[in-house]
Structure formats: structure tokens, C-alpha cells
Structure 1
Amino acid sequence: MKRIPKWVKWTVGLVFGGFIIVLAAASLYFYQYAFVPSHKDFLSNKQTTSEKAAQTWLKQQSPATWHETAVNSDLKLDALYLPATKPTNKAVVVAHGYMNTKEDMAEYIRMFHNAGYNVLAPDDRGHGQSQGNYIGWGWPDRLDYTKWTQQVIQKLGDKSEIALFGVSMGGATVMYMSGEKLPSQVKTIVEDCGYTSIMDELGYQAKQMYNLPSFPLVPAVALTASIRTGYNVFAASSINALKKNHLPIMFIHGAKDTFVPTSMVYQNYKATSADKELWVVPGAKHAQSYGKDPKRYTQKVIGWLQQHMS
């Protein structure tokens, strides 16, 4: 058998070593870009007139501040709690999107408050007033939100009824929660434009923003993130969570969503055998279904809650 020349071995070794170095550098760069809280130039910071008005309204309500400690961590988390105008044991826990804050959910908080619900809106790890130097993409946050629901129960009593609601990353968060053992007081879920997994969303964005294939970059970024953040990025799957779900769940998605592709909502809808409803909003882009038709959105969502909360 003819021996491979040393220069060939050295060349192959150098090429492979160079590839690993480049991949490692790219992984660190995209980890910073996707998992470290900071200004993201791919996100729009523009607010609509309606969003500004809702945030002004929220400040005028002087909501209470609640505190919690993150699961498997000593990170301190903040939330706002807005009680209903008339006493009720019904509440909605609201989950915000990627690099948003609880205040950014003002339109939805107002919608639920006007419908007579108590509302709790937390800041996720690394967002708003909560501590943390990484973005959980909803996966570790699902456990934190479960703790928040327990605080709501302590406030409203064992006979309280709770709905989970989330938009974008918040939509993924509440879907992830559906696979956990939740308090019996949690009665239903409404998710708006959540993704199927962190891996799927990273792969989609790599293609959309940089025209890069998912492999090997996305697994490398996920590995880097898992090591640095301490949570398993590979395990985050709404599909797997929804297979365990037994709660009634409503799925909402914009028909023209190009940030979390509309195709993902069909996968999520198919994954659960629970009582469910799907509403794909014509003409709506990412996280704009409410803004597209606030009246219809309110009718659909509040109607769903009234149907599934006694």
C-alpha cells in the first residue's frame, strides 16, 4: 500500500485546522449576535402610534412590581402586575418577544385588562429590569414563567384560573411551557408567531440574513451558546413540548411573516392533539397580527379565553 506523502498530510491538517479555527471564530461572533443582550440592527425599534399610546396608558395605571428568582440560577427577575378593575380570580401571564420588555407588551396588557383580567407581565432573563447576560430564547424562561404562575396563584388563591399568552419569543416560551407539569390553575394558552425551535430559527435566519447553510454553523453556535449560557439549546423544541400538551391552545401567525416563517405555525399546530384553533392573519407580518386588525384580534383572543376559563 502506497504511503501518503507527509506534505499531503500536512496540507490536509492545515486546511482542517484552519476550518476549525474559522468555524470557532464564526460561532463566537454569531453567539454574541444572537445570544448576548445588546442592540440588534436587524430588529426595528420603530413604534407605532398605537404602541406609544398603550405604553403611556400603562404608565398611568401604576402597576405593581413583582420579583422572582430564576430557576437554577440566582438571577433576579422583575415583572409588572396590573390588577383587574373589578376583583376576579382570572389572570393572564404575558410573555414578551426577543429583546423586548414587559412594557413593550402594553397593547396586549391593555387588551386583557379591558376584558376584566388581572395581568402579570415579566421581563425575561437578560431583558428589561431582569438580570442576566444572555438571551434564553424562551427555553430556560419557560421554567421561570412556571414560577411566576405560582406567584399568581398565591395572590389570587387556589381557585384562580390562569391563561398563558406570548408573542414571538414569548409565543415559543408558552409553547415550551405546554410540555411542563404546570399548576392545575393554568387553563389555556394563546401563542402568537412563535418558532418551532431555537435551532430552526437560527438556521432560517442564517439563510435569510447571510445566505449560509445551517450546517455546520448553527450546531456550532448552539454548542457555544449551550456552554456559555448553561442551558441546552439543542433541547429547545416546541414540537416536542406540544406533543405532551393537554391544554386548549390557540395559534396565531401572520400570513406574511418573514422573520418567523408562517410554515412553522402549521408544524406547531399539527404537533398537539389538544383542543386547538389556528388563525393565520391575512397580510400580517411578524408580530403584527394585533396591529393589522385590533378589533378582530381582541374578539378572537378574548373569545378563546372566555371559552376555556369558566
Structure 2
Amino acid sequence: MNKKKTLLISTGILGTLSIGALTVIGNYFYNLALNPKTSKESIFGSKEEENSTSGELINEDLNWLLNYSNYSNVTIKSFDNLNLNGYKILNNSSTDNWVITVHGYTSKGIDMSSYAKKFYDMGYNILMPDLRSHGNSEGTYIGMGWIDRLDILKWINFILKDNKEAKIILHGVSMGAATVSMVSGEALPNNIKAIIADCGYTSVWEQFSHKLKDLYSLNDFPIMNACSIISKFKAGYSLNEASSLKQVSKSKTPILFIHGDKDDFVPYKMMADLYNAANCPKEQLTIKNAGHAEASKIDPKLYWTTITTFIAKYLDSNL
């Protein structure tokens, strides 16, 4: 009897210690990846990879944005009452055509200035949001596109409030691409004409799993499971529910997927997985020799010609 009691007590102690250890591990990786106050370049592996999440910032386009675009700061309230910041640029030519261009992980709206300038020159009005916990937007955790999809719905309504006839293109790079892919599965107004997802991941779980193996040579279990539980508790979403694959499978909006075949940060193979999962009008573009978020830099002519052609098919349609 005493041996049985001792065994039960020992098992209970080991269980408690295991739960405690997993909680510590889960919190560590949560803070590393999703806490905006503590997430650093170590999740990327290098400062260069961190800077690549929205592509290379082109100084002359930043200068255009800040000094010549006549941009205005705009704000909205999120569904959970955060102040979200954005940059709005109205085209000199009166138009109902809009682009919402979405930045990547630990980046900010103005880092999309090169994309904004290109779309502006194509005749579009521009909206560049700071995602929650990025730039000048409030937030206590990084949404990884999943929570951000709800914020983008608010930004869409922001445009439609003043321009009910707006024709809106969603464009995103890296986490921004995952964001617009995740938006695609929501009930969207007919004003959303096309989506361009540049090097987005299939799901938060798969992306974190990839980096866990790449940077730390660690398997999913039990670290990912512990981190997912902590994320659900602190950020309101688990890592496995934040799926671009599931969302694009519900999309009715045409999607153009773009990826560089030398992308090791968000693996190139993820584009094929997303393309195959999508049940909407779709195309895919591989930019050869492009690393993460380098597609528009490595082959700008092919990048923008493909985007222009794709948008033209759907801008005036009623899909």
C-alpha cells in the first residue's frame, strides 16, 4: 500500500514538474515569436532575414511617400477596441480603384512604400495599414495574419464608408500575404476584386515548425503544442487554427500566389500547397533565384506585368 501511495505521489510530482516545464517552454517561444516587446531577430536567424519580411526598402520611394505623396494618417478601432494606424494616399486622378498593401512580420506600413509607389503610378488609391502591434498601431501580441484578417475587414469598411463604389485589390508580402490569404476565406463584399499573396505561409503552425527545425533543430512536440496553448490563452488563437490553407479553400475572390524559388524562410513549396487548396480563380508565379520577399526586386518586370494582367481580368467583374 505504501509503495502504491509513493508511486502515485511520485507520478503526481513528475506530472506537475512536466506541466511547469512545458509552461516555461511555451512562454519562452511565445515571447520569442508573438510578443512585440520581446520578439527579436533570433526568430529569423539574422538581421538580414528580419529586414526581408517586407522586401528591401527603397529610399527614394520612402522619400516619395513622406514628401510628395500627400499621404494622411488615418485610424480605426479594431473589434477589440485597439487604435489601428494606417497611411492613406489619394491618387491625383479621380478613381475608385484601391489597393490595400500589407506589410510583413515586425515591419510597418511605410515599409511598403515601394509597392505603394508602383500601384500609385498604376492609378490606384493606396491604404497601407500598420498591423496590430506594429508601427503606430496598438496591440499586445502579433496576430500572424489570423487576428489581422479581422482588422483588414475593418479597413475595407473604412474605404467603403466614403467610397461605396470602390474596387479594392488586397496585396501582401510575407506575413502580409498570409493576412490577405486568411482574409480571402471571409464573407467579402463584391468590392474586393483580387488578392495578391507574395510569399505567404500555409499556416502559422507549419511556419513556426519550419523555423523551429531550421534554427533550433527541434521537433514540433511538445514545444509547438505548449506554445499553441499559451498563444490561445494570451492572444486568443491557437497556432493550428491560424491556417491560410483553410481560408483560401473557402475563397471566392481570385488569388495570385507569388513566391521566389530560393525562399528558405517561408519555404517555396508552400505556394503549391496554397494554390492547390484554393477553390477560386487562381494563378501562381515563380520568380527564379528570388529569396524571401525578393520577387519584386529580382524580376520587377515579370512581377508587375503578371500582377497588372491578373488584376485586369477581374477589376470590372462581379465575381
TM-score, normalised on structure 2? 0.91
Partner of 2:22: 23
Name 1:40's counterpart in structure 2.
40
How far, CA to CA, are the matches of 2:36 and 2:266 in structure 1? 19
Q: Is the 8 A contact 2:57 2:112 kept in 1?
A: no
- Offset, 1:14: 3.9
Q: Which residue does 2:228 correspond to in 1?
A: 222
The answer to whether 1:100 aligns with 2:107 is: yes
Q: Deviations over 1:124-156 (max 9, x none)?
A: 110001011110001111011111111112232
What is the deviation of 1:234?
A: 3.2
1:255 alignment partner, one of 249, 257, 261: 261
Q: Which residue in the other structure is 1:64 paired with?
A: 72
Q: 2:174 corresponds to which residue?
A: 168
**Structure 1 unaligned regions, length at least 5:** none
C-alpha distance after superposition, 1:244-269 (max 9, x if no partner): 11111100011011111111111100
Aligned pair partner of 1:302 in 296, 304, 308: 308
Are 2:141 and 1:148 aligned? no
Distance 1:224 1:126, change over 3 A: same
Q: Distance in 2 between matches of 1:153 and 1:290?
A: 29
Structure 1 residue ranges (4+ consecutive) displaced by more than 6 angstroms after TM superposition: none
Q: Select which of 126, 131, 142 maps to 1:124.
A: 131
Q: Is the 8 A contact 2:205 2:224 kept in 1?
A: yes
Of the three residues 296, 300, 303, the one matched with 1:290 is 296
Q: How high is the sequence identity, in percent, across the aligned residues? A: 34
* Rounded Cα–Cα distance in structure 2 between residues aligned with 1:278 and 1:7: 62
Q: Give the Cα separation in 1 of the matches to 2:251 and 2:3.
A: 57
Q: Aligned residues, how many?
A: 307
Q: Does 1:85 align with 2:92?
A: yes
Which amino acid in structure 2 is aligned with residue 142 of structure 1? Answer: R
Q: Which runs of 5+ in 2 are unaligned?
A: none
Q: How does 1:194-205 map to 2 (within 5 A)?
A: 194-205=200-211
Contact 2:106 2:134 in 1 (8 A): yes
Query: Which gives a bigger RCO, structure 1 or 2 (Cα 8 Å, sep 6+)?
Result: 2
Aligned partners of 1:112 and 1:302 also within 8 Å: no
Bigger Cα displacement from structure 2, 43-52 vs 120-129:
43-52
Tell me how far apart the structure 2 counterparts of residues 198 and 173 of structure 1 sit (CA, whole Å): 11
Work out the CA distance in 2 between the residues paired with 1:125 and 1:49.
22
The residue number in structure 2 matching 1:244 is 250
After TM superposition, the score normalised by the length of structure 1 is 0.93
